[in-house]
Amino acid sequence: TKKIAIAIDGPAGAGKSSISKVVANELGYLYIDTGAMYRGVTWAVLDSHVDVKNQKDVESLLPSLDLTLEPTANACKVFVKGQDVTNLIRQQQINENVSTIASYKGVREYLVERQQAMAAVGGVILDGRDIGSVVLPKAELKIYLTASVDARAKRRWLEVQGTSNEQSLEDIKKNVESRDEMDKNRDESPLVCVEDAIVVDSSNMTFDETVEHILHLVQERI
Ligand code: C5P
């Protein structure tokens, strides 16, 4: 069977990363969580007390950032200057600032280049907002994974229950909506559903059904 590239895009909380992880494991593919990279940059910006709104200052941090992604079986670990920030990048403060950081051209160029280099090995699944449109425009399978905003907020809420990143359902819903709004309306690589993407609306599908459906789409292409 041939090894293909799979692009999964969609709004916040659609389940892209948890679904991608399982699909990658099933296929023996490499999973790359590109959102974690934008979150890693955001963590570094906040940690160095740079003003998030100052694009120039944010971009001037990039050359010394030393951001690395270490894909493991259950998660994509993120390191900034050798520090493991995998859990820290899920904090509310990151959720609130990441879409501003991700709107900057220099940040996107820096990360897209890294993502393309990591994907070059083949047999990969990348999830994000601009994978099918910018990062892997030639991906053999492009999926736009979406769900209603209520379904997405509820899932995110369940995910953070019992962790140090607990938030109210209402706060999560507001954050999901405001990130969607920013991600869809920015000038640089906005979230779009590209023409050759297959839309998967998981509002009324279970996790396992969604995984099965995507695996079926992969089978048709390998
Ligand atoms: O996927 P996740 O929700 O972790 O992504 C966090 C944020 O990073 C998104 O809301 C978006 O602003 C940004 N992002 C992006 N392009 C990607 C992946 C994430 O702009 N490919």
Q: In angstroms, rounded to a whole number, what is the distance separating the alpha carbons of residues 197 and 57?
A: 36
Cα(208) to centroid(ligand 1), Å: 24
Q: Hey, which residues does 198 pair with through a beta bridge?
A: 143
Whether pLDDT at 188 is above 90? yes
Q: Which of 1, 14, 16, 98 lies closest to 58, judged by CA?
A: 98
Whether pLDDT at 73 is above 80? no
> Which residue type occupies 9?
D
Q: Hey, which residues does 125 pair with through a beta bridge?
A: 6, 31
Cα(1) to centroid(ligand 1), Å: 31
Cα(34) to centroid(ligand 1), Å: 7
Q: In angstroms, rounded to a whole number, what is the distance separating the alpha carbons of residues 130 and 134?
A: 5
pLDDT tens string 117-146: 999 999 999 999 999 999 999 999 999 999
Q: For ligand 1, say whether the CB of 129 is within 6 Å of any of its atoms.
A: yes
Residue nearest to atom 4 of ligand 1 (CA): 35
What ipTM, to 2 d.p.? 0.99
The residue to mutate among 183, 189, 192, having the most atoms of ligand 1 within 8 angstroms of its beta carbon, is: 183
